[in-house]
């Protein structure tokens, strides 16, 4: 059921600036407005730009759909463009993991990624409990041939009772069961250095959201903000990098133009 990682030779993609380029992915939530206007045309535009894989969001637990489509239909549409869906974002919990895995079974994804929203009532002990739960969820996903992962925002870097939630989660989850999808924009916005994070927890970050922000935290196209993508490129091995996934503001009416501009910047600068 899993998708094999792309190699760093770029052998599974073409049309890039150099032969060592890693195929780039895109988080489809960035182009959700474009997809709702014309799903197939938007996917074709992404593939024509040079994107070789996608990461999906928009999973609805009640209907078991992605962007309103049954996963099998969604998968067929992705495959028709020549792209590959390597992961899905979903509200994964101990009581929903089995259903989510069953719903997504038509899709040969490699990663199932969850996330949290800020909660002022959550304390440090809650994050220890969540870490234990993630290990349990990760073992269930692993049995299904899928890697379970967690996507950070900025609030995980604010200390609670003297401990940062991000450290609690990384220290108390099994690397064999829980991967981390680092969102570079949120890390920088939180005042943390991605380099420090990668050095402190080597090999834990196979998924990178190549998301940029300006000085006040507003999300912008890659290259237009304060994330130093150039300095991060040499850290891929230390971090355990496998997939670079472009993400731009999801509320933007011109999402497609933004992910195309971000792709062109990353390739022009020969970053990934």
Question: Is 216 inside any structural domain?
Answer: yes
Here the CATH number for the domain that contains residue 243 is: 3.20.20.150
Residue 260 is predicted with a pLDDT of 98
Question: Is 140 inside any structural domain?
Answer: yes
Residue 18 is predicted with a pLDDT of 32
50 and 78 Cβ atoms separated by less than 8 Å: no
Q: Name the pLDDT band for 8 (thresholds 50, 70, 90).
A: very low
Question: Is 73 inside any structural domain?
Answer: yes
Rounded CA gap, 86 and 76, in Å? 14
Rounded CA gap, 41 and 48, in Å? 10
Burial of 40 (0-12, 13-18, 19+ CB in 10 A): exposed
Residue 6 is predicted with a pLDDT of 38
> Which of these, 144, 148, 164, 145, lies nearest to 156 by C-alpha position?
164
Arithmetic mean of pLDDT, 10-15: 31
% of the chain surpassing 90 pLDDT: 90
What sign has the CA pseudo-torsion 6, 92, 229, 45? positive
234 and 15 Cβ atoms separated by less than 8 Å: no
Residue 272 is predicted with a pLDDT of 73
3-class secondary structure, 157: helix
pLDDT tens for 13-29 read: 322 223 345 689 999 99
Rounded CA gap, 196 and 37, in Å? 41
Q: Name the pLDDT band for 173 (thresholds 50, 70, 90).
A: very high
Q: Is the pLDDT of residue 142 over 80?
A: yes
Question: Is 136 inside any structural domain?
Answer: yes
Question: Is 3 inside any structural domain?
Answer: no
Residue 21 is predicted with a pLDDT of 54
> Which residue range is the domain that position 40 belongs to?
25-268
Arithmetic mean of pLDDT, 103-119: 97
Residue 223 CA to its chain's centroid (Å): 18
Residue 256 is predicted with a pLDDT of 98
CB neighbour list of residue 258: distance below 8 Å, 6 or more residues apart: 30, 221, 248, 249, 252
Question: Is 59 inside any structural domain?
Answer: yes
Q: Number of folded domains in the chain?
A: 1
Question: Around Cβ 224, how many Cβ atoms within 10 Å?
Answer: 16
Question: Is 14 inside any structural domain?
Answer: no
Burial of 268 (0-12, 13-18, 19+ CB in 10 A): exposed
Question: Is 1 inside any structural domain?
Answer: no
């Amino acid at each position: 059921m899993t998708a094999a990682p792309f190699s760093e030779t770029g052998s599974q993609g073409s049309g890039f600036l150099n032969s060592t380029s890693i195929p780039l992915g895109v988080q489809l939530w960035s182009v959700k407005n474009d997809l709702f206007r014309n799903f197939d045309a938007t996917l074709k535009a992404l593939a024509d730009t040079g994107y070789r894989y996608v990461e999906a969001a928009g999973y609805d637990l009640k209907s078991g759909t992605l962007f309103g489509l049954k996963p099998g239909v969604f998968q067929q549409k992705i495959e028709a463009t020549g792209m590959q869906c390597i992961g899905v974002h979903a509200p994964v919990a101990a009581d929903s993991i089995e259903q989510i895995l069953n719903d997504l079974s038509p899709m040969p994804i490699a990663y199932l990624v969850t996330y949290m929203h800020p909660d002022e009532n959550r304390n440090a002990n809650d994050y220890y409990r969540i870490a234990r739960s993630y290990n349990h969820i990760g073992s269930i996903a692993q049995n299904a041939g899928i890697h379970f992962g967690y996507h950070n925002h900025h609030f995980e870097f604010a200390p609670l009772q003297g401990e940062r939630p991000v450290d609690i989660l990384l220290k108390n989850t099994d690397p064999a069961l829980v991967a981390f999808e680092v969102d570079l924009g949120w890390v920088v916005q939180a005042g943390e250095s991605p380099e420090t994070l990668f050095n402190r927890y080597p090999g834990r970050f196979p998924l990178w959201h190549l998301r940029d922000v300006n000085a006040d935290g507003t999300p912008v196209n890659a290259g237009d903000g304060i994330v130093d993508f150039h300095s991060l490129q040499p850290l891929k091995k230390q971090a355990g990098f496998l997939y670079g996934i472009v993400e731009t503001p999801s509320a933007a009416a011109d999402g497609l133009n933004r992910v195309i501009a971000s792709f062109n910047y990353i390739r022009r600068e020969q970053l990934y």
